[in-house]
Chains A and B, each alone.
Chain A
């Protein structure tokens, strides 16, 4: 594969796509409300109406507004777009009929609705546009050109510099500067290095990575290949949750297509760069999201973490330097290479560059995926974009960061979404789960829910986490059952502090966060729960 051949493929695909497009979302959310049948009947209806028409029905990735699925987006050749919601297979004829003027008898969504207007697409720029199961579709959207550019026109050091200057930070939650991580792996002297994509999205309430993998798998593969070239790795792994069968299927297919096209495998783009990607399927252990546990799991062991240093960048899979980044981090690489670091650095805040994808769920009117520039306030996201609670109740708290994060009270909704601001208020950015709770939800019960999760997911290797989470859960359960005392609350606080500072890995170190943040922001609930 070379550049002219890639361009030829892109031009051919674009020519075939000159007419009207009917895009049906076939990511997991819509798929569970029967969107495959919707796509099939739209395809049939388009052929029935006019066998020679230039109307194309495509199965695409996430169209973001999951609560209104199945979603169908129709784009006319002049660029005019209509988004239909709650589409059923029997609506197909009506939608195809409306292509020549008139209105279909299907509910539509206003494309200027704040839910869409407030978004900025970098990670999700192709989501809902390209067909995830066809590499041609990704190539037509400019796919793999950045990889060609990197492999043939840049040195590995230049690539690392580029990523460093962009200010990109890890999207897995902790926000470590990506460029620094790449530079560390790049400067290691080793015969073998690895690149790992962490797709073990274990936080309950988070589904961004799943959507990215289901909607645009090639974007992640291209990002991984660029990173492998930069750090000198020849083997990559995508560690993906076993609970995401569709993502695994589409990734497997994408890897096979990319290898056949010569953009992965040996001699990528006829250069001396070799890079192979394999999939490792996780088996349902939250702790495997922690990088040293993930490495143990890739090696076929129980997923237990080990002390750091040495960091995986120095000693990872089988002792070799290993670069581990999250799905969303890899998905940011292609636009950075393509558009340049200045462009990327101009989006977001001073310390948090670019955008962040959030999975909005819980008690809000519009649930689904949103991608917003860093620094957008929670108020804008929860109230303006998501439309607040569905039944006019009061928003009480917003939970970010899953079991490692915290509950942000409604009084702090003016907090901008960036790594520092969220940490300051006792939560974390996390991987991007955002659950909205209303005045019916008890914050102590939410803390108990997360502690139960951490207790069951603790791998048992270190005592503070193994024993501490059980004790914390017991105290919280006592409080929610109405038998708590003031001494229990004091013990809760003290024990949280111990678990936080003495646990081996991130799971234990962050497990007390939901407790500490609710103690801080909702002390009145704990007071009310105490029986004298």
Chain B
């Protein structure tokens, strides 16, 4: 058995934990021939499969791509899209782009924070809800926009958002 075969055999069997989600990550790495320049693509897949990137997952990716853990950690923390913390059951993303800002996005965010007691960028203690902000969703024509559980809603106001939050957490 040659050295390369050795390394691949270990990976082909997936993660020692037996978690099948690692297979999805594995498939993406394989498609990119384990090239370390595919790191961002792999992180995207990993986050999609796991919801967030924990240290174990980052180390696993670093090992598979033969990249320094510091580089993988550096890339994962550089980009805003990647999160190293688990998200709540529900998410509420308030767009704070320019168009939304001039149409009162900050008031909406404040109302969400007050209604739920969760501050922007954090998750409630019971893991029910994460409140986040977005740079710009590109939905400026229907500003102010808020994303509830992945669905964009336009022309929001403090009242509609508070009502929606009540429904979401009921």
> A297-B40, A362-B103 in contact; A283/B98 too (CB < 8 A)?
no
Flag A404-437 by CB within 8 Å of B: 1 or 0 each: 0000000000000000000000000000010101
Flag B6-41 by CB within 8 Å of A: 1 or 0 each: 000000000000000000000000000001111111
Find the A residue at minimum CB distance from B135. A204
User: By the criterion CB–CB under 8 Å, are A32 and B142 in contact?
Assistant: yes
> CA A459 – CA B79 in complex, angstroms?
10
**Interface assignment of A115: CB less than 8 Å from any CB of chain B:** no
Would you give the shortest CB distance from A81 to chain B, in whole angstroms? 21
A362: chain B residues within 8 A (beta carbon): 98-99, 102-103, 140, 143
Would you give the shortest CB distance from A35 to chain B, in whole angstroms? 12
**Interface assignment of A280: CB less than 8 Å from any CB of chain B:** yes
Task: Report, as a range, how many residues of chain B touch the other chain.
Answer: 35 or more
Find the B residue at minimum CB distance from A402. B98
**Interface assignment of B145: CB less than 8 Å from any CB of chain A:** yes
B39: chain A residues within 8 A (beta carbon): 300
> A399-B98, A449-B101 in contact; A243/B37 too (CB < 8 A)?
no
User: By the criterion CB–CB under 8 Å, are A29 and B134 in contact?
Assistant: no
**Interface assignment of A471: CB less than 8 Å from any CB of chain B:** no
Would you give the shortest CB distance from A215 to chain B, in whole angstroms? 13
- For window 36-90 of B, CB contacts with A under 8 Å fall at 36-41, 43-44, 71, 74-75, 78-82
Name the residue in B97, B136, B141, B154 with the highest tally of chain A Cβ atoms < 10 Å from its Cβ.
B141
User: By the criterion CB–CB under 8 Å, are B41 and A207 in contact?
Assistant: no
**B141 touches which of A29, A201, A203 (Cβ 8 Å):** A29
User: By the criterion CB–CB under 8 Å, are A283 and B82 in contact?
Assistant: yes
> CA A299 – CA B37 in complex, angstroms?
5
A435: chain B residues within 8 A (beta carbon): 98-99, 102, 140
Flag A174-204 by CB within 8 Å of B: 1 or 0 each: 0000000000000000000000000001111
User: By the criterion CB–CB under 8 Å, are A449 and B98 in contact?
Assistant: yes
Interface size on A, residues (CB 8 A): 54
B37: chain A residues within 8 A (beta carbon): 298-300
Flag A26-41 by CB within 8 Å of B: 1 or 0 each: 0011011100000000
**Interface assignment of B2: CB less than 8 Å from any CB of chain A:** no
> CA A67 – CA B145 in complex, angstroms?
12
User: By the criterion CB–CB under 8 Å, are A285 and B79 in contact?
Assistant: yes
Find the A residue at minimum CB distance from B96. A204
User: By the criterion CB–CB under 8 Å, are A284 and B135 in contact?
Assistant: yes
User: By the criterion CB–CB under 8 Å, are A363 and B135 in contact?
Assistant: no
A301: chain B residues within 8 A (beta carbon): 71, 75
User: By the criterion CB–CB under 8 Å, are A284 and B79 in contact?
Assistant: yes
**Interface assignment of B153: CB less than 8 Å from any CB of chain A:** yes
Find the B residue at minimum CB distance from A459. B78
**B136 touches which of A28, A205, A299 (Cβ 8 Å):** A205
User: By the criterion CB–CB under 8 Å, are A207 and B140 in contact?
Assistant: yes
Q: Could you list 24 A-B pairs, sorted by A, with CB under 8 Å?
A: A201-B138, A204-B96, A205-B97, A205-B136, A207-B138, A241-B138, A242-B81, A243-B135, A281-B40, A282-B81, A284-B79, A284-B80, A284-B82, A286-B135, A298-B37, A300-B39, A361-B99, A361-B140, A361-B143, A367-B140, A367-B143, A441-B102, A446-B102, A449-B101
Binding site for A on B (CB under 8 A): 35-41, 43-44, 71, 74-75, 78-82, 96-99, 101-103, 134-143, 145, 151-154
Binding site for B on A (CB under 8 A): 28-29, 31-33, 66-67, 69, 201-207, 210, 241-244, 280-286, 297-303, 359-363, 367-369, 399, 402, 433, 435, 437, 441, 446, 449-450, 453, 457, 459
Identify 16 new A-B residue pairs, CB closer than 8 A, beyond the known A359-B140, A363-B102.
A32-B145, A206-B136, A207-B139, A281-B40, A283-B43, A300-B40, A303-B79, A361-B140, A361-B143, A362-B99, A367-B99, A369-B141, A399-B98, A435-B140, A441-B102, A449-B98
